[in-house]
Amino acid sequence: MRCALRIIALVLVLASLLWWSAAGARIGWWQTHVGVERTDEITGLSVVEWQERFVPGVETPALGLLLGGALLGFSPLFRRKLPTNQKTK
């Protein structure tokens, strides 16, 4: 159980870091709307359109590290199962 918790903690931390870096490694907060600048075809002016899109912020690796650290901290609470020595006479 201890080893499983440690592996889950490591996977959780790595997954959060990889997802955050793959999505752009934004150093701000989470965004649910992103402004995309485009040029109006008729007037030639630039216009910002807001699109609904989730961009993970710095909270993603922070939460991954926090939850992974909590799992790692709880792992010593589970004792190892020691093999029982049964002597037969």
Does residue 89 lie within any of the structural domains? no
Does residue 88 lie within any of the structural domains? no
Cα separation, 46 vs 2, in Å, equals: 57
Q: In this structure, what token pair is assigned to residue 31?
A: 């965004």
Does residue 57 lie within any of the structural domains? yes
Does residue 85 lie within any of the structural domains? no
Does residue 25 lie within any of the structural domains? yes
Question: Taking 60 as the threshold, does the pLDDT of residue 89 lie above it?
Answer: no
Percent above pLDDT 90 for the chain: 55
Condensed to tens digits (0 to 9), the pLDDT of residues 51-75 reads 999 889 999 999 999 999 999 998 8
> What residue numbers bound the domain in which 70 lies?
2-77
Cα separation, 32 vs 55, in Å, equals: 6
Cα separation, 71 vs 78, in Å, equals: 11
Does residue 87 lie within any of the structural domains? no
> What is the structure's pLDDT at 12?
95
Does residue 7 lie within any of the structural domains? yes
pTM metric for this prediction: 0.70
**Which residues neighbour 45 within 8 Å (Cβ) at sequence distance 6 or greater?**
39
Radius of gyration, alpha carbons of the chain: 24
Condensed to tens digits (0 to 9), the pLDDT of residues 17-52 reads 999 999 888 888 998 999 999 998 888 899 999 999
Does residue 32 lie within any of the structural domains? yes
Work out how many domains the chain is built from and give that number.
1
